[in-house]
Amino acid sequence: MIDYKILKQQLELLPQSTVVLIAGHKNADYDSITSCIALAKILSKLGYTAYALIEKADMDKTYWLDTSCVLNTYDENQEFNFIMLDANRKERLGRFEQLFDNARTTICIDHHEGGNNESKYSFIDKDISSTAEIISHLANEIDDPLHNSILDEEISTLLYAGIAADTNSFYKRVTSQTMLVASMLLYHGANGTFAIKNVCKNLCLREATILSKMFNNIQFDSFHYVVLDRHDDFFKDIPYSTIFKKCAAYLYELIDVNVFGLFLIELDGSVSGVLRSNCDINVDGLATEFGGGGHKKAAGFETYESIEVILAKVKSYVQEQM
């Protein structure tokens, strides 16, 4: 559980004269993107100069958002504070890790397993649906009942989108609190249909072709998996998020699959992987063996282990845990 009073106080202790940078994990998903932008907008309303840091490669996902508070790089010529959102290990920040190292103070707000306690202050709730839900509770805490809410239509829509993304349209990891928060966001003007359309229901024909190739390549050896290879011309230029977030979401829903692995062999020989569990097998522990992590039922990694070694390790792990 997060003590939102203390989180609010911690944010208020940041001096307004110092820039606040907010960044999520590399290969940003919609929870990470919308939470970063929403928090930047909330802090701006409170009088801060706040920016959401998003990699150029992830900007294609923001075409439906106002990105006036988004930066792709930051020139560290003045002091700044750093908030790590939707990630709890600085190495997950990718290119922005160096900024974390050089920040005056660091705050982590997240809902993932693991974590290295590298931030000065950490606010982590592993049982909550999404980082966007955490930011919604924070907004509630900030709100003074005598004044207008900090939540406007835009911020509410961003947070609603983040929750929808991590819950697969309010389908998984949803609690009664999640629905109360969603209701509050709708009350403050969130455009729910627009948000879900943009984060969950936006498969185009090209992506349907990619998905059909993935379905055709499903294999089984103690667990179900698909191996894709960037050396295959078809997959050479397809964005990571299209494969791992958008298309893969359909594969995870197959009801007769217990553990699902999706592996992409990159051009440099490394392998990006995600693991999903529809049973009691904890895939976070498995992803950790490859230097990654995530949640018990959904985790990811990047490794230089060969695909043969990865498949063998996952297979023996699944057999042990069954």
Question: Which residues in this chain contact Mn ion in the complex, by CB under 5 A?
Answer: 31, 86, 130-131, 166
Point out the residue whose Cβ comes nearest to Mn ion: 31
Specify the long-range contacts of residues 106-109, CB closer than 8 Å, at least 24 apart. 106/81, 106/82, 107/10, 107/11, 107/81, 107/82, 107/83, 108/83, 108/84, 109/2, 109/7, 109/39, 109/83, 109/84, 109/85, 109/134, 109/135, 109/138
Could you tell me how many residues make up the chain? 322
Least distance CB 199 / Mn ion (angstroms):
12
At 257 the three-state DSSP class reads coil
Least distance CB 293 / Mn ion (angstroms):
13
Least distance CB 131 / Mn ion (angstroms):
5
Interatomic CA distance for residues 110 and 89, integer angstroms: 10
Interatomic CA distance for residues 296 and 125, integer angstroms: 14
Q: Is the Cβ of residue 224 or residue 246 nearer to Mn ion in the bound state?
A: 246
Q: Is the Cβ of residue 86 or residue 226 nearer to Mn ion in the bound state?
A: 86
Which of 72, 100, 27 minimizes the C-alpha distance to 294? 27
Q: Is the Cβ of residue 173 or residue 224 nearer to Mn ion in the bound state?
A: 173
Least distance CB 172 / Mn ion (angstroms):
12
Amino acid at site 83: I
Interatomic CA distance for residues 312 and 290, integer angstroms: 13
Q: For residue 94, what are the contacts with CB-CB under 8 A and spacing of at least 6?
A: 25, 26, 27, 55
Q: Is the Cβ of residue 70 or residue 85 nearer to Mn ion in the bound state?
A: 85
Q: Is the Cβ of residue 130 or residue 242 nearer to Mn ion in the bound state?
A: 130
Least distance CB 308 / Mn ion (angstroms):
31
Q: Is the Cβ of residue 165 or residue 190 nearer to Mn ion in the bound state?
A: 165
Least distance CB 85 / Mn ion (angstroms):
9
